[in-house]
Amino acid sequence: DKELAMQVFECEQEINKLHIEVDELCIRLLALRQPIAADLRLITAAMKINSELERIGDQSVNISENTAIYLEHPPLKPLIDIPRMVEITKEMVIDSITAFVKEDVRLARSVLKRDDDVDNLNHQIFRELLTYMLSDATAIHRALCLILISRNIERIADHATNICEDVVFMTLGKDIRHHMEKQ
């Protein structure tokens, strides 16, 4: 749907403007208020989360563009796993923002646990589409579009986990990035 793709692009432009405004506000707060401890963690987390949300907007544009290209051709296969990925990822993003607003570490940790589900679906989709490409060269273009869509959805889930890592740091002062154990 070209109209929907244009709406995604327009929303992303608004997200970019808000990204700059929030960063400028946070920088002003840092300069004028010189926050310490919890206030400093809140402002730095807000800046980092702001960037994660902007990247989610970028990934959404990529999904929209690849979907528009994919829809120009007959469907390659029924889509089952991608809608499941979208649903899990959408819930992760909503919950990550809620965890930030409510400073809810338990909710943030539950989002972190769901990232593996999205990663597994992404790998499963890649393997399945690779078999389509190997068996039928005419399927390569459509399969690549779906692989890119899947990969961008997976990246959005990663951004949601990054937000939740920032929530844990902001709330507890504990940095859990790059750790195998995020619980």
Tens-digit pLDDT profile for residues 40-83:
999 999 999 999 999 999 999 999 999 999 999 999 999 999 99
Please state the pTM of the whole predicted model: 0.93
Residue 182 DSSP SS3: coil
CATH 1.20.1560.10 fits 2-172, yes or no: no
> Can you tell me which residue has the tokens 């990204």?
19
**Is-contact 86 153, C-beta < 8 A?**
yes
Quote the CA–CA distance of 149 and 146 in Å, as a whole number: 5
pLDDT tens per residue, range 84-129: 999 999 999 999 999 999 999 999 999 999 999 999 999 999 999 9
Would you give the end-to-end CA distance of the chain in angstroms? Answer: 40
Residue ranges of the domains in the chain?
A: 2-172
Helical H runs in 72-104? 81-102
pLDDT tens per residue, range 139-168: 999 999 999 999 999 999 999 999 999 999
